[in-house]
Structure 1
Amino acid sequence: MTTETAVPETRTPLRPAAPRGRARSRRQRAVMLLFIAPALVVYVLMVIAPSLQSVQLSLTNWDGINPAYDYVGLRNYQDILTSDRFWNATTNTLILGLGSAAIINVIALAVALMLDRLHRAQGFFRTIVYLPALVSGFIAATIWKYMLNFNFGAVNTVLRDLGFEGAAMDWLGDNDIVVGVLLFIICFTLGGNTTLIYLANLQSVPQELVEAAKIDGASGRQVFRYVTWPMLAGAVTVNMTLAMIAGWTIFDQVMVLTAGGPGFISETMAFFIYKVGFGEYRAGYGSAAAIVLFAVVMATTVLANRYMRSREVQG
């Protein structure tokens, strides 16, 4: 009786990718770079290069016109950080940026929830909600400027006709309320996109989860808290980031409605940079303020995104 010896099976080692495949991949990357190159060149010349040059100019006393200037080191930054006018602009920017981001998101989410429950004419109401976003900030601010005029504005005219003479006030000239009026106008004009983003995410929530929660006895509030709200985490991150960036860089509304007044009361950081750089011919000082604004926007955006991303993971 003979026994057969088992011969171990030999496997052919995996061969590396063919050189032809690698060459094809390199050609594809080269073609993609060729398509990207024109836009990249324009972006570098129009955005990156001027941004880097502003860092250099922030260390000078350049007036924006005379080609001659001297380097003054960090003097511009020292003057900025010790300026009451700058800190007032910073405070206004924080109020308008964080305030508008919070208010817009709360109202937009509430409107999106109502639109999501509509079974008829949803497209019509969705269009109505989005219409303010189609109007440029400059035009919207101009309309509001006429409406809030103390003498002939529609708001004060209606109040006087209704017998509320004491309620008519100089909405854009009162130091105590002008920033609040700007906040209201900004929230009114920037909420359309936010509402549609929330509505799109609400309509993508799996209805099976909602129905299962209702069958288990969850109330409408519990369904929103434990099912719908976690599913909206990504939309909240996007909307809060966009709203904060828009709030930090508010310029059109301030320029048209108040021009930073009365005095410097309603200046924001963006308007402050424009005013000192182009209106007061202190381009070096304005460049330093722009660098500070960039640092503030980057820091707050990164911190807010980190917090909201962690919330998404937990959700």
Structure 2
Amino acid sequence: MALWLFIVPALVMYIATVIAPSLQSIEISLTDWDGVNAAYNYIGFANYTDIVQADRFWNAVTNTLLLGFGSAVIINVISLGVALLLDRLRHWQGLFRTLVYLPSLMSGFIAATIWKYILNYNFGVVNTTLREHGMETWAKDWFGDSGLVIWVLLFVLCFTLGGNTTLIYLANLQSVPRDLVEAARIDGASGLQVFRYVTWPMLAGSVTVNMTLGIIAGWTIFDQILVLTAGGPGFVSETMAFFIYKVGFGEYRAGYGSAAAVLLFLVVMATTVGANHYMRRREIQA
């Protein structure tokens, strides 16, 4: 009974701040509420039908898939490489760990603001440098070119995130038994073979954790879109999270936005569970 006295306060707060609003969002998704007026009507699944028939929604889904899965894979590859380098260091390891982790301490909003100035078309460092070195044609409107903007956003995301991922890999690498590594080397295994047959299987757990967290973070990308493009040009760079915000608060269609939020929740759950199940199976096989 005493244990429940510790659990109940946190449980009540969780229900009040997470469960209850989530259930209310499902109810609102079945209405035509504009988010301002008290009056609204129940319209059933009309919002869901309209959403899945809208090209704008599917564009947001495509962008979210690209940015979510793309950033998760690229960040994990880069972070694993950095972790392998850090694991080989014998001096100044603490300093380099700190330098790698520092970007994670910066909010996505601030990091995106810095990149917005760096890639500004008129006075950004990138375009200014290109112009000064006679490469005028290489200077681009990085956030205004509809064919380029998503790839620029993917680049920004990959260089904004990743500090936590690197440290998780590094911690796992340092727990790999050195006896196994030395035994493989004595048997004549090359560095690549040691990584493939000894180190990589030992990293299965951290790969699962990092990929799962990366996919979830990718599905809910919002700050960077808000600061860098606001979904533009037009609706080209909208993600699902930004789409929900824009229609729910910017266009005063709270019911429509709530329906999109419910769909996002279902997609996040399905992809996360599916990816986690696949990665867990890989752990067993490894």
TM bucket normalised to smaller: over 0.9
1:155 partnered with 2:126? yes
> Which amino acid is the alignment partner of residue 184 of structure 1?
F
Q: Which has the larger radius of gyration?
A: 1
* Equivalent in 229, 232, 240 of residue 269 of structure 1: 240
> Which amino acid is the alignment partner of residue 56 of structure 1?
E
Distance 2:159 2:24 in 1: 36
Aligned residue in 2 for 1:242: 213
Aligned residue in 2 for 1:256: 227
Greater shift, 155-164 or 248-257, is seen at 155-164
1:310 partnered with 2:281? yes
Runs of 4 or more consecutive aligned structure 1 residues displaced over 3 Å after TM superposition: none
After TM superposition, list the pairs within 5 Å mapping 1:1-315 onto structure 2: 30-315=1-286
Deviation for aligned residue 1:240: 0.2
Distance 1:120 1:161 in 2: 39
Give the secondary structure class of the aligned counterpart of 2:11.
helix
Aligned Cα RMSD in Å? Answer: 0.6
Deviation for aligned residue 1:126: 1.1
Distance 2:113 2:161 in 1: 15
Distance 2:61 2:37 in 1: 29
> Which amino acid is the alignment partner of residue 90 of structure 1?
V
Distance 1:104 1:220 in 2: 23
Deviation for aligned residue 1:159: 1.1
Distance 1:288 1:299 in 2: 17
Q: Tell me the alpha carbon deviations over residues 112-145 of structure 1, each in whole angstroms, 9 at most, x when there is no partner.
A: 0011111111111111111111110000001111
> Which amino acid is the alignment partner of residue 69 of structure 2?
L
> Which amino acid is the alignment partner of residue 6 of structure 2?
F
Taking structure 2 as the reference length, the TM-score comes to 0.99
Structure 1 vs Structure 2: percent identity of aligned residues?
74
Structure 2: 5+ residue runs without aligned partners? Answer: none
> Which amino acid is the alignment partner of residue 168 of structure 1?
A
State the number of aligned residues.
286
Give the secondary structure class of the aligned counterpart of 1:151.
coil
> Which amino acid is the alignment partner of residue 236 of structure 1?
V
Q: Tell me the alpha carbon deviations over residues 128-168 of structure 1, each in whole angstroms, 9 at most, x when there is no partner.
A: 11111111000000111111110011111111112211111
Taking structure 1 as the reference length, the TM-score comes to 0.90
Give the secondary structure class of the aligned counterpart of 2:163.
helix
Deviation for aligned residue 1:42: 1.0
Aligned residue in 2 for 1:5: none
Distance 2:109 2:143 in 1: 16
Distance 1:132 1:257 in 2: 18
Deviation for aligned residue 1:213: 0.6
Structure 1: 5+ residue runs without aligned partners? Answer: 1-29
Greater shift, 163-172 or 280-289, is seen at 163-172
Deviation for aligned residue 1:39: 1.4
> Which amino acid is the alignment partner of residue 44 of structure 1?
I
